[in-house]
Structure 1
């Protein structure tokens, strides 16, 4: 069937590309406050804990502005995620104490615990990798509705499993040590993807290696190629639930110049999208993009690439929602409006 919209429909479709038009919303989705009315909750997290380039708290607003135009179907998958699942923008996490990291994470966890209890799955924009830990505390581990740890695909130039620093427990470089120690992620189903750059000490990645994480460095990816790297990630994760977290410093600075802790080199956005799209069929139960510093990129190319990555992951989430809905309704013919 050919695509032949009416003049009115064509005007509406064209307007959807105007990211500068109307109220900015993540992926152009409707605003909602009741988690029970969404399958997928898009959330802004305006917080900066990392002392390097501290304007990560501006990330949600910048991505809302640019991602407004991504309320569209997925070209490669041939589906429209917004027709498969209820996807809504839930605004920003309220954080009364943004300057006290160890207190802020408690407020963040409480927000995501309410989200999780309602049955929604989150995708978050903003903050740094100190912010992924409270999300995992809410949606994974023995206290969550899943009652077990989950797998983790961690895109980053750094392992962020370095231990406490200067008396601070929850910081951007410690989340994936604490998540393991607290039983939130399964070490044998955790992979660091894209490790890159010079090291403070040659043994700084040993904790992750000793814990049982798979370290898939940028150099290894270059040597084996993207298809083989994707196959390795899928082998590690298997069929269980997985959280996908993306630190922008995993990308080349030409593709993501507005990043808090940059490293030379990095994956290209084309390679990154190839990997993300290769996760199709996985049980993705949450995701985020962190360490975006908008003022470093007046061109908005970083925000554009974040929008594209979010669209890919959310599309995979939406397919998962539809797949589970079909499985749940197959016995009694139930359908969801």
Structure 2
């Protein structure tokens, strides 16, 4: 049996106890740990609505409703994995670059113990810190990105680092193997026609949501597997991948996307791939009055943990 897991809900009710992810123990000593949940509360690089700095807190609060067993993938996450909540990186208010360096350093220490991380953002720039830490261990990774935006702009108001440029920066730094990477769910109006050409220019396979919906989960799964192969990969789930009718609490919402059910089905379709890390980003609780966005995010995280559990 794994060493760490949540308390029994029949002994401690879900509304009681510390607000850790899935009510897991808050642990920094990572001996006998398989997966650490790490919060990265920063949102200084958003282009529109802020609030993602409160994302880790919101996702953790919603996650108390998660249970151990995934009936669709037929796996008990807690039986297969020793899980802890590591807590939050001490980010630096007002400095994205300093926050990313602190995050990279913290994640490097976690990864050095052999533990897999699932990070809770935070805006999408946290992906750069994660990939910097992971690539130092595994080399360039295939990126599977669920998102309504490709995040491949070069700059914004003269700034090279913001949440809309993070994937371009990762490719430039050699952290991502673009030829093995897939973006799914792209949609919405663009600043210019050339914006739609950015993924192809970098040799990333990019699917609009219309193309993704036409493929369906089975076709999408086959396309990803053909692209990614057996190599190491990273799954990044931007909550604005989900239609704002189901997940309104985000900084840059785009209508015309998948329902929460459809979004989770696409994540489950990736079972069997060699994931070395995960994140869920861009949840903004101030724009999530009923908490439904955080619930979608928490369940997406549970599906990611289930993917990892299936390989143990």
Aligned to 1:131: 126
Provide the rounded CA distance (Å) in 1 between the counterparts of 2:60 and 2:214: 36
> Is contact 1:187-1:213 (8 Å) kept?
yes
Structure 1: segments with no counterpart, 5+ residues: 1-10, 323-337
Partner of 1:252: 243
Deviations 1:73-123 (A, max 9, x none): 11112221111121110010111x221112221111111111111111110
User: What is the aligned partner in structure 2 of residue 208 from structure 1?
Assistant: 199
1:235 has 2:230 as partner:
no
Indicate if the aligned counterparts of 1:20 and 1:65 stay in contact, CA closer than 8 A.
Answer: no
Match among 75, 78, 103 for residue 79 of structure 1: 75
Counterpart of 1:289 in structure 2 is: 280
CA distance in 2, matches of 1:12, 1:314: 19
Which residue among 187, 191, 201 is the counterpart of 1:196?
A: 187
1:55 aligns with: 51
CA separation of 1:45/1:158 partners in 2, compared to 1, >3 Å: closer, same or farther? same
RMSD over equivalenced CA pairs, Å:
1.6
Could you tell me which residue of structure 2 aligns to residue 152 of structure 1?
Answer: 143
User: 1:91 matched to which residue of 2?
Assistant: 87
Q: Which of the pair has the greater relative contact order for Cα pairs under 8 Å at 6+ separation? A: 2
The TM-score with structure 2 as length reference comes to 0.93
Q: Tell me how far 1:14 sits from its aligned partner.
A: 4.1
Measured after TM superposition, the shift of residue 301 of structure 1 is 1.1
What secondary structure sits across from 1:154 in the alignment? Answer: strand
**1:226 counterpart SS class:** helix
* Structure 1 residue corresponding to 2:61, chosen from 62, 65, 83: 65
Give the whole-Å Cα distance in 2 for the aligned partners of 1:178 and 1:35: 30
Judge conservation of contact 1:40–1:318 (CA < 8 Å) in 2. no
Contact 1:157 1:195 in 2 (8 A): yes
> Which residue does 2:3 correspond to in 1?
none
Cα distance in structure 1, aligned partners of 2:75 and 2:237 = 24
* Contact persistence 1:196–1:217 (CA under 8 A): yes
Equivalent position of 2:116 in the other structure: 121
Structure 1 Cα separation of the partners of residues 69 and 242 of structure 2: 25
Cα shift at 1:68: 1.7
1:158-209 deviations in Å (ceiling 9; x for gaps)? 1101113234332101111111111111111111100000001111132221
CA drift at 1:223: 2.6
Corresponding residue for 1:107?
102
Match of 2:69, SS state, is coil
Work out whether residues 161 and 208 of structure 1, in 8 Å CA contact, stay in contact via their aligned partners in 2: yes
Q: Is 1:209–1:215's contact at 8 Å kept on the other side of the alignment?
A: yes
**1:177 is paired with a residue of what secondary structure?**
helix
Counterpart-to-counterpart distance in 2, 1:117 and 1:100: 26
**Could you tell me how far apart the structure 1 residues matched to 2:30 and 2:130 are?**
15
Work out whether 1:279 is the aligned partner of 2:270.
Answer: yes
- Helix, strand or coil: the match of 1:188? helix
* Residue equivalent to 2:21: 26
CA distance in 1, matches of 2:51, 2:97: 18
Structure 1 Cα separation of the partners of residues 196 and 112 of structure 2: 35
**What SS does the corresponding residue of 2:15 show, helix, strand or coil?**
coil
> What runs of 5+ residues in structure 2 fail to find an aligned partner?
1-6
SS at match of 2:181: strand
CA contact (8 A) 1:19 1:67 kept: no
Please tell me whether the aligned partners of residues 59 and 125 of structure 1 are also in contact (alpha carbons under 8 angstroms): yes
1:271 shift after superposition: 1.2
